Amino acid sequence: MVNQPTVISTFAGCGGSSLGYQMAGFKELLAVEWDDNAVETFKLNFPDVPVYHGDIAKLTGTECMKLAEIKRRQLDVLDGSPPCQGFSTAGKRKWNDPRNSLFKEYARLLNELQPKVFVMENVTGMVKGCMKQAYLTIIKTLRECGYKAKGEVLNAMYFNVPQSRERVIIIGVREDLGIEPSHPKPWGKPIHFSLCPEIDDAPVPLKGVELERWDNIPQGGNWQNLPSRLVNGKAKYSNFHRKLSNSLPSYTVGKKEHYSSGRFYHPTQPRRISDKELLWVGSFPVGFLTVGNGKEIHKRIGNSVPPNLMKAIAEHIRNRILKQL
């Protein structure tokens, strides 16, 4: 493709963001990821993209530019989704959580590479309650790298993703370019689970107490709909024993709910949703290749930015920001 805009993806995971940029016509010059399973999955789906498989803290800006074959200020977009567990409302939400410091490595590379635009994604927990000060510190740090930066909460379900998934998207534009950062507007109404295509990897039907739970939970319900005899001590959380609905988007796919701490039940069939259905819920194409067991697949999807959401962001950047240059 002529005049393809370029992107480097940090914290690339299995390639959710990368797929979004690819669909929007970008050329990915480098992916940075340390997790072995994520890297193996990424390489299966993006064999032509160079991968730095290691700790981002050990990747210098000079080495990054050498691997991507670019010079400073030449890159169009630096993308990144630093691990967010320390900000998540599901955790203890401590600013000094070591997992929160990884955004500093992203900011370091941003400062060294000086791309035209950056995109940083994180959980909404970073703008709520006690974490709001952390968010303001992050924005300040990114602006000090020489960027106009703006954050907005976007819900993936309005961008052709069959899942309600709110995320903070921070977009920055280098100050010397004189362009204000902006975000895409919603594409349309949410997609329901009933639109999921026929997929051939349906799990074994539920039986015993799991079948009883499925019978007692209405579509869109969870453990709170169960009689007390079917609720164990660990199940008293809203993300346990969830049944999807044919008239609503899926619940947010986290890292553990489907395979360990809870269940994503199929709305009309007495079974959990399958691995391929879970990929579809994440807006990954049916043909996306995966590695490992169901738990690993679920973790990859839970950690990813939905490709269709990133496609909307990338197209907006290409058409509303980069085309002005």
84 is catalytic: yes
| Domain spans in the chain, listed from the N-terminal domain onward | 6-188+305-324, 193-302
Say yes or no: domain 6-188+305-324 is CATH 3.40.50.150: yes
Q: Please tell me the predicted confidence (pLDDT) of residue 2.
A: 59
Q: What is the pLDDT of residues 15-64, one digit of tens each?
A: 999 999 999 999 999 999 999 999 999 999 999 999 999 999 999 999 99
Q: What is the pLDDT of residues 154-174, one digit of tens each?
A: 999 999 999 999 999 999 999
Give 90's pLDDT tier (boundaries 50, 70, 90).
very low
Tokens 């000086």 belong to: 114
Q: Which CATH architecture has domain 193-302?
A: Alpha-Beta Complex (3.90)
Cβ proximity of 75 and 33 under 8 Å = no
Own/partner long-range contacts of 105-110 (Cβ < 8 Å, ≥24 apart) = 105/10, 105/56, 105/57, 106/10, 106/11, 106/56, 106/78, 106/80, 106/82, 107/141, 107/142, 107/145, 108/61, 109/10, 109/56, 109/59, 109/61, 109/64, 109/78, 110/78, 110/142, 110/145, 110/147
As a whole number, the mean pLDDT across the chain is 88
Q: Is pLDDT at 323 greater than 90 in this prediction?
A: yes
| Shared fold status for 6-188+305-324 and 193-302 | no
Q: Please tell me the predicted confidence (pLDDT) of residue 256.
A: 54
Q: What is the pTM of this model?
A: 0.92
Catalytic residue among 84, 130, 145, 196: 84
